[in-house]
Copies of this chain bind each other. A is one copy, B any other.
Amino acid sequence: MDQALNCTRIDLIVLDIMLPGEDGFSICRRLQETTRIPIILLTALVEETDRIVGLEMGADDYLSKPFNPRELLARIKSVLRRTEMLPPRRRNSRGIAVFEGWTFDLAKKEVVREDGVAVRLSSGEHTLLVSLVAHAGLTLSREQLLDLTKGREAQLYDRSVDNQISRLRRKIEPDPKNPQIIVTDWGGGYQFAASVVWPND
């Protein structure tokens, strides 16, 4: 987890209390001191005292197993909605990413080239690029990408991700035939390989 925190941008943490080694409460406390990432605690215990301790510990919300996935989603949305309104620093803001001659304001559906020309992105392309950039350097499987972008499962013979990747490449790769920014990890998925700079950080 600590490793991931250092190399990736994390917006929210869903944290199970029952863990081998350091337990959830401890982690929660530790995170609260250093970062300001919102936390949703998860537990199998129905102990009411635990609910309370968790909230008092600084967690942003709490959910006990077994839970309805839709509820988890609703709570995540709810927490994000709140934290998004907080002043910039605290919400691990995504801001602006710069890579390979492109400037990408994650909030806008376009990428701007060095010469100032903006290329518009469709909603799907935008979501895909956000997911890739947020996990730059990591290989994401098609399943993961589908989950991140559409939040759904893959169908049999689902080629939609490949297609969106292809369309995205056509727009941002200098030479779409030899992708340098979005490279394919054969048998694994796709990876955002260009180095990303976050000027506002």
Contact = CB atoms under 8 A, between A and B. Distances in A.
Contacts of A86: 85-86
A201 B167 CA distance: 39
B70 A52 contact: yes
Given A109-B183, A187-B123, A188-B123, A85 B90 contact: yes
Contact of A52 (B60, B68, B184): B68
12 contacts: A48-B68, A48-B71, A56-B74, A56-B78, A59-B78, A81-B138, A82-B82, A85-B90, A122-B186, A123-B185, A123-B188, A124-B186
A171 interface: no
Give the 10 A-B CB pairs with smallest separation, nearest first.
Answer: A123-B186, A55-B74, A52-B74, A55-B78, A48-B68, A52-B71, A56-B74, A82-B82, A52-B70, A123-B185
A113 interface: no
Interface in A120-149: 120, 122-124, 137-138
Contacts of A59: 78
A86 B175 CA distance: 30
Given A124-B186, A183-B109, A186-B124, A71 B85 contact: no
